[in-house]
Amino acid sequence: MMYLTFFITITLFLYGLYTLRADKKKRVKARLTSVFEKEDGIKQDPLIEEKQNRYSLKPLFQFAWKHLRKLFQRKRTNEKEEKLELKLLQAGNPFGMRTAEFRLVQLTLLILFPLACVGYGYLIKISLGGFFLLALVGIIMGIYLPNYYIKQKIKIRSQLALRELPDFLDLLTVSLEAGLGFDGAISKVVAKKQGVLPSEFHRALEEIRLGKTRREALIGIRDRLLVDEVRTLISSIVQAEKLGIGMVQVLRVQSNEVREQRKQRAEEAAMKAPIKMLFPLVLFIFPSLFVVLLGPAIIQFIQTFK
């Protein structure tokens, strides 16, 4: 078992070095190609491109992936598919996945993990009951890991949005005070900043340009970000627009509240730190101190009464 683990580690390490080197060469080649194409206006011969594509496996994989995606892209209007699509939107559509791609990844992992576990069991030569147990573990991993990954992406994205919110609100308030309209202020802030919140508001602007109302676009942001502060902000903006209240005043109040809440979260985290430090102290540091301080005395005590 130890030799197998060592062999897998060395193989993955060598593969990583080879991939890193190949990626570096590819980037250098792409930069040189772009520079020389801009200067000379010379493009690659279509016959050479066709010959390269003929001996490449990439079109084959693209063809197979396209047909598998079409197979899973049946029109489903049930609640599970709508909830899954909303979860993917909340996670930021990792790897550009839609519901069909995610279902396909789930099915692939549901097949690969049990096979890998059974193969591992065959290598270590376990009993038949062990094979069934490993297959069950692989099935559980194949079902649980994709959903766990989506939950983690949603959590990370929500934390990033919460971290970006105070600065985003300040810039939006300053832009409105400078005389811009609400859409113009959002467009200006989105152009100057990058992150989760700017991307969501940029998507809302695009939806408004495509015909959605401002209220619908903002409610879409509220549904895609699981952050209470963002939901409160969107509700305040929608209500201010409905009642005709000044947007600058509303955003200024929201900015002060968000900064006060951030200060309270920092104080809460600081108060939790001593309690979290207690467990490693008791489990790791105190036993070592006891061994160093009381060890010689205990040895001398034993030798005296021996």
Question: In this structure, how many other beta carbons lie within 10 angstroms of the beta carbon of residue 200?
Answer: 23
**Per-residue pLDDT at 148:** 92
Rg (alpha carbons) of the chain, rounded to whole number: 29
Q: Helix 79-90 and helix 214-224: axis angle, to 10°? A: 80
Q: What's residue 7's pLDDT?
A: 59
Which stretches in the chain have pLDDT values below 70?
1-9, 12-13, 15-17, 31-32, 34-77
Q: Note the pLDDT of residue 59.
A: 62
pLDDT digits (tens, 9 = 90+) for 208-240: 988 888 889 999 998 899 888 889 889 988 888
Q: What is the pLDDT of residue 153?
A: 92
pLDDT value at position 36? Answer: 57
**Residue with token string 């990583």:** 16
Query: Cα–Cα distance between 214 and 46 in angstroms, integer?
Result: 47
Contact of 171 with 192, CB cutoff 8 Å: yes
8 Å CB contact between 180 and 189: no
DSSP letters, 108-176, are HHHHHHHHHHHHHHHHHT--HHHHHHHHHHHHHHHHHHHHHHHHHHHHHHHHHHHHHHHHHHHHHHHHH
Amino acid at 38: K
- Alpha-carbon span 184 to 190, nearest angstrom: 10
Greatest distance between any 2 Cα atoms in the chain: 94
Residue 114 has a pLDDT of 87
Q: Which amino acid is at 71?
A: L
CB-based contacts of 166-174 (< 8 A; 24+ apart in sequence): 166/255, 166/258, 166/259, 166/262, 167/193, 168/193, 168/195, 168/197, 168/198, 169/233, 169/251, 169/254, 169/255, 169/258, 170/255, 172/251, 173/248, 173/251, 173/252, 173/255
Q: What is the pTM of this model?
A: 0.67
Q: What gap in Å lies between CA 124 and CA 180, rounded to an integer?
A: 69
Report DSSP state, residue 212: -
| DSSP code, position 57 | S
Digit-coded pLDDT (tens) for 47-102: 444 545 454 556 655 655 565 556 555 555 577 778 888 888 888 888 888 887 88
